[in-house]
Amino acid sequence: MENSRQGRVESLSKSKALDKEPLASLDGQQIKKLLDAWSFSQDIRIYDRLDSTNKKAKDLAKEGAIFEGVIIADEQTEGRGRLGRAWLSKKGTGIWMSIVLRPVFSPNHAAKLTVISALAVSQAVYRLTGTRLLIKWPNDLVLNNKKICGILTELRADKEKIHYAVVGIGINTASQEGDFPEDLASIASSILIETGSLVDRKQLIAQILREFQDLYSHFTKGGDFSSHRALYRDLSASLGKRVRVLGPKEEFEGLAIDLTDSCSLLVRKDSGEIEEVMAGDVSVRGMAGYI
């Protein structure tokens, strides 16, 4: 087991890692070859540079120029995160991709797309490197208490129907310490910094898409989310921790006690009252810092 993982991961010194994989290694045909035939992977579009893969994905989906598919860029000039934040996406330092979906389920289930993506990323990184990324509710993946991956799910929907969904996944695979600005340096990191290993991005993309497909179709075909929820609880970096919830209207502290079936976080306030926190506009911080 350990050996097969190691076979897929190149262990490199940090200086060697500066020789980034050539762009050709993010070739869509090569990624497709690594995948069994299934819907999203039939339309993988790779760009050297985009402002944002989520923006491109939404534009294409709106025009009907893509049905379901995957948009990947080697560099983003205006990568976006939740709550209007910027997402640093330097050339060759990570995976910047957006999955376009046309789910037939109700918009009430949309938060599940973020959870499914987070599980897919954690599973894929584990299978390729043996390293477990934990999930900081609602959309971050962390390693050694540092943020490695962020997910931004955007929808065009009305009350009953999702017209399209775009799930943007940003993973810092090969960023170096100096790549992060001062304000992010204590929060953000990369797989390379934390493990010393440079993961092959096209293998990781293919594995994420495989895991995503399994988790997504398990839910869309059978309607069952219980195994996802169980896995999400196991991988949670938030549960059992005291957290500070920062919403647009109020701020409070409490103990993160559970995740609901609709993917909200249950927080027990010191008064004993249990608050159900939905991802929306909320940011959650640990008492000692980021987690």
In the complex, which residues of this chain contact ligand BTN (CB under 6 A)?
52-54, 76, 79-82, 85, 87, 89, 96-98, 139-140, 150-152, 168-170
Q: What is the spatial distance between Cα 125 and Cα 131, in angstroms, rounded to a whole number?
A: 7
- 116 CB contacts (<8 Å, ≥6 apart)? 212, 215, 216, 219, 228
SS3 at position 198: strand
What token pair was written down for 283? Answer: 């940011």
Q: Which is nearer to ligand BTN, 48 or 261 (CB)?
A: 48
Strands 242-246 and 283-286: antiparallel
* CB of 30 vs ligand BTN, minimal distance in Å: 20
The minimum distance between CB 114 and ligand BTN, in angstroms, equals 10
Q: How far is the CB of 93 from ligand BTN (least distance, A)?
A: 12
Which DSSP symbol is given to 91? T
Cβ nearer to ligand BTN, comparing 4 with 144: 144
CA-closest candidate to residue 14, choices 193, 160, 167: 193
- Angstrom distances, CA of residue 271 to CA of 193, 222, 228, 247, 268: 41, 39, 31, 19, 8
- Closest residue to ligand BTN, Cβ-based? 150
* C-alpha span between 173 and 153 (Å, rounded): 20
Q: How far is the CB of 51 from ligand BTN (least distance, A)?
A: 8
**Residue number with CB closer to ligand BTN (37 or 117):** 117
Least distance to ligand BTN from the beta carbon of 164, Å? 15
Closest distance to ligand BTN from the beta carbon of 219 (Å)? 22
CA distance 246 to 149: 21
Q: Which is nearer to ligand BTN, 97 or 215 (CB)?
A: 97
Q: Which residue lies nearer to ligand BTN by CB, 184 or 257?
A: 184
Helical packing angle, 226-234 and 111-129, nearest 10°:
60
Q: Which is nearer to ligand BTN, 170 or 254 (CB)?
A: 170
In 34-109, alpha helices (H): 53-63
Nearer to ligand BTN by Cβ, of 89 and 195: the residue is 89
Minimum CB separation of residue 172 from ligand BTN in Å reads: 10
Of residues 284, 257, 247, 252, the one with CA closest to residue 271: 252
For residue 131, give the DSSP letter: P
| Amino acid symbol at 117 | S
Q: Which SS3 state, helix, strand or coil, does residue 291 take?
A: coil
